[in-house]
Copies of this chain bind each other. A is one copy, B any other.
Amino acid sequence: MRSSYHEELDGIIEQLVHMASLVETAMHDASESLINADLTKAEAVISGDAQLDALHEELEYKCLSLLALQAPVAGELRIVVSAIRVVFEFARMGDLAAHIAKIARLRYPEHAVPKDLEPNFIEMARIAEQMVQLAKTTLSEHDAEEAMKLAKVDADVDGLRREHFQVILDENWQGTVEDAVDVALLGRYYERFCDHAVAVGRRTIYLVTGAAPTGEDWPNA
């Protein structure tokens, strides 16, 4: 029994890493659907989100069963409690990738991102993908130092958001109200996606060290 319990614990981490890969693909495809106005990719992200939601339910149930049946302590308790939070974060990240794909679908065959803000969103997409990769690596390698990088990278997202607000609120900007609303909401979705990646890092640090970092570098995501 005890040994199958340890297998289950290892299995949880593996499934979290698997969930991270699914989120990575979802965000990659969502950004492509947005930048290239690719309807097929957008549809794939939107319909694929159900898989992440199902994994969320399944893993949360598994963690709660472990808590109830095995009453883990110390480091093992930390793994289960962290896992409950991390599955939630990944599920939300999947939802946000789907929100981005839905805006791409809504504007198809037009591009949702105005031409002059394309570089801004390409960079935003690059950072979002980098962050989910960092989160995945820190999780699979239990590396608290790697996790600390997440908060640093996240600061760049805030800079990109300020930049696109400057563009759309400039009185000489040529975009429509609809363009501006899309940009504002897309920016919000990318920002929240990255906040959740930071939260995964925060939980990983807790998992590894037993202490959650606090302070300004760690936004409450």
A186 CB, min distance to chain B CBs, angstroms: 11
The reply on A184 being an interface residue by CB < 8 A is yes
Assess whether B168 is in contact with A177, with CB atoms less than 8 Å apart: yes
Copies in the complex: 2
**Does A185 count as interface, using CB distance less than 8 angstroms?**
yes
In the complex formed, the residue of B with least CB distance to A178 is B169
Interface set, chain A 143-192, CB cutoff 8 A to B:
165, 168-169, 173, 175, 177-178, 180-181, 184-185, 188
Q: Decide if A57 is an interface residue (CB 8 Å cutoff).
A: yes
- Interface pick from A1-9, A22-30, A65-73: A65-73
A53 within 8 Å of B by Cβ? yes
Measured CB to CB, the closest approach of chain B to A16, in angstroms, equals 17
Q: Tell me whether B91 and A64 are in contact (CB under 8 A).
A: no
Q: Which residue of B lies closest to A53 (CB)?
A: B220
Judge if A77 is at the interface, Cβ distance under 8 Å. yes
Q: Which of B77, B173, B188 contacts A67 (CB 8 A)?
A: B77
A149 to chain B, nearest CB (A): 23
A192 to B: closest C-beta gap in Å: 9
Interface: A214 (CB within 8 A): yes
A95–B188 touching, CB < 8 Å: no
Min C-beta distance of A177 to chain B, whole Å:
5
Say yes or no for A13: interface residue by CB 8 A criterion.
Answer: no
- A97 within 8 Å of B by Cβ? no
Contact B178 A177 (CB under 8 A): no
A–B Cβ pairs within 8 angstroms, 12 of them: A67-B67, A67-B81, A68-B73, A71-B71, A71-B73, A85-B88, A168-B181, A169-B177, A169-B181, A177-B177, A181-B184, A184-B184
